[in-house]
Amino acid sequence: MIKSDFHSHSNFSGDSQTSMELMVQKAISLSLQQLCITEHHDIDMIPAEEGISFLLDFESYIKQYSFIKNKYADNIDLLLGIEIGIQPHLISELSSIINSFPFDFVICSSHIVAGLDPYFPEYFLDKTQKEAYTIYFQDVLKNIKLFNNFDVYGHLDYIIRYGNYTHKTYNYSDYSDIFSEILKTIIQNGKGIELNTSGYRYNLGQPHPSFEIISEYKRLGGEIITVGSDAHVPEQICNNFDLAEAVLKKAGFNYYTIFKSRTPEFVKI
């Protein structure tokens, strides 16, 4: 049974209005052993609504985290994380930020590609579905080759959440060459991937990334794989972790990964 959620957000992220304390209280009610708060820090992110910022207030975040961690120390192991939005021109700045704070865990995610956010329909204009997806996956590969100061790459096929397509999912074989290089580079660099269950929440019928990618990662020798709900409200914590466990086992994993002080630990399922 998976007892650690390693992708969650509170109102320190621009797209959540839930206090950190409420997120932690929900995790405790679910008898979690660990919850890692992984707030967004996305430079250049354009918010969907006015008044929202994806720039993390690090001082306030860590102050509140320390208070909540101490308050609930007897009930849960609360860990300090961050989800950074990576772009090639931000590599030096983001690395400096990561090295400046005592993070337990760093998720690196692609939210903006060539200045465009796939959340908005403009990204998909004048592109076929395959072109839109290929551009995104190629950008992930570029980022992984340029940047190494992270622990896992987040929701590798995040792009399929968006786009006004009848069928948003894809055939792995259409992108297998790109994914093979992505996964080999991740493994060679000693990094990992996450199994992000929000894909089920978006009615995609799969986690992020798909089973085929997770299975190929394992076949290529990948070992580091965290499990996260990408929760933004308490009710989403640990969503579909039963499905996540089944996917991991089917792919050949007998464990999942947690991080403390940027160091992986492997937990038997």
For residue 137, pLDDT over 70 is answered with yes
Q: How confident is the model at residue 50 (pLDDT cuts 50, 70, 90)?
A: low
Query: Whole-prediction pTM value?
Result: 0.96
CATH number at residue 240: 3.20.20.140
Domain extent for 62:
4-268
Report the pLDDT averaged over residues 130-149: 97
Amino acid residing at 142: K
Q: How confident is the model at residue 45 (pLDDT cuts 50, 70, 90)?
A: confident
Split into its structural domains, the chain has a count of 1
pLDDT in tens, 2-40: 999 999 999 999 999 999 999 999 999 999 999 999 999
Q: Which of 72-81, 98-107, 115-124, 258-267 has the lowest mean pLDDT?
A: 115-124
Following DSSP, what letter does each residue of 153-182 receive, concatenated?
A: E--TTGGGGSSS-S-----GGGGHHHHHHH
The residues, ordered by sequence, that sit 6+ positions from 187 with a Cβ below 8 Å of its Cβ are: 217, 220, 221, 222
Query: Hey, what are 96's tokens?
Result: 């400096």
